[in-house]
Structure 1
């Protein structure tokens, strides 16, 4: 089974990052009994289905210390995993107050308060502000994600979206409304998964 050792080998996570992730995993399993943070079937594959799925975005980030906005963080994937593994400035956006309490507890217990903040609101209500990277996992179709993301993007910002089987269909659908450079990477955690890197986003007709 893919567990902590296999995760460390796959990601080259240092001991400090791994210790933070272990604290995170323990809190997740504890809180899972109270609120539905992840599907019950996937909790047994936590280190592959959730931790590795999130951590595989790290090599695609532009630099250490970059600012990241995570849409629909839920239990913290992928944004909180990235924050616990790298020297990053991460904002987790989540509308469910109970999940935000959980995220805040993990941030406090892993001592990353200075670099991670939680915004308990809908993305549409989040104050505008430019970031280096927008990330999201399983939140919405690509068209919707770009509509939500555009006010947070500079010309050199990127989006990293964890997508599934319908990614080609979604890319075709958005071509009539958007210019962009899109690059696909095969997921390391899911044979059907795709990491979609999007750059130079611009609406057509502007």
Structure 2
């Protein structure tokens, strides 16, 4: 797909998603896409090779969580986001571009993928983006306002492995496809986290179901709009 077409498609998606993203920040996302394509030839960051498909299925799909995160974190200045099982930085890099006032940690156990994220922090000039190599369950707590996962694990495994990285008043947010009824049932068997809400998403250009599953500590009485 020609660069001009990518620019137009991204601009339309930004408008549809109602994300406040300047042309300069949109250009950073396209630069990230180009770097992903380049590194993909050697490091196999993603099975998708076509630039247009990568834009929709990776960049725009990740961008779709920005507005919900911003709404959930209203009133929290300088929030910390932890993206577990981040791979090549999805959605962490996209969140870091869209929300430069937040600190974003991308965590993955695969060194080559974290090396790419580390490179993106420098190439894109993202001082708020941090690449962390290691197993999420073996790390000291990162004290996140929200721990995010995309295609990382079941809800129960996500909560078990990554729940310790949330602040006492923090949340977990899992990006899912269809409504994960069986995973929600399995999660209810443990007492530390519970489903607060399931939020349907419309991803521009993507003909597939998407939803966000918000988890909160089981002993909290707080609510998130």
TM-score by length of 1: 0.89
1:60-71 aligned at under 5 Å gives the runs 60-61=68-69, 62-63=73-74, 65-71=78-84
Please state how far the C-alpha of 1:36 moved relative to its aligned partner.
Answer: 1.2
Please state how far the C-alpha of 1:150 moved relative to its aligned partner.
Answer: 2.3
1:68-87 aligned at under 5 Å gives the runs 68-86=81-99, 87=101
Query: How far apart are the structure 2 equivalents of 1:137 and 1:18?
Result: 21
Which runs of 5 or more residues in structure 2 are unaligned? 220-225
Q: Which residue matches 1:8?
A: 14
Please state how far the C-alpha of 1:145 moved relative to its aligned partner.
Answer: 0.3
The yes-or-no answer on 1:143 pairing with 2:160 is: no
The yes-or-no answer on 1:124 pairing with 2:132 is: no
Q: Which residue matches 1:182?
A: 196
After the TM superposition, list the runs of 4 or more consecutive aligned residues in structure 1 that deviate by more than 6 angstroms: none
1:8-47 aligned at under 5 Å gives the runs 8-11=14-17, 12=19, 13-40=21-48, 43-47=51-55
Query: How far apart are the structure 1 equivalents of 2:108 and 2:135?
Result: 7
TM-score by length of 2: 0.82
Which runs of 5 or more residues in structure 1 are unaligned? none
Q: Secondary structure at the match of 1:90?
A: strand
Query: How far apart are the structure 2 equivalents of 1:53 and 1:158?
Result: 20
Please state how far the C-alpha of 1:119 moved relative to its aligned partner.
Answer: 0.7
Please state how far the C-alpha of 1:167 moved relative to its aligned partner.
Answer: 0.9
Query: How far apart are the structure 2 equivalents of 1:8 and 1:56?
Result: 9
Q: Which residue matches 2:170?
A: 157
Aligned residue pairs total 202
Query: What CA RMSD, in Å, does the superposition of the two structures yield over aligned residues?
Result: 2.1
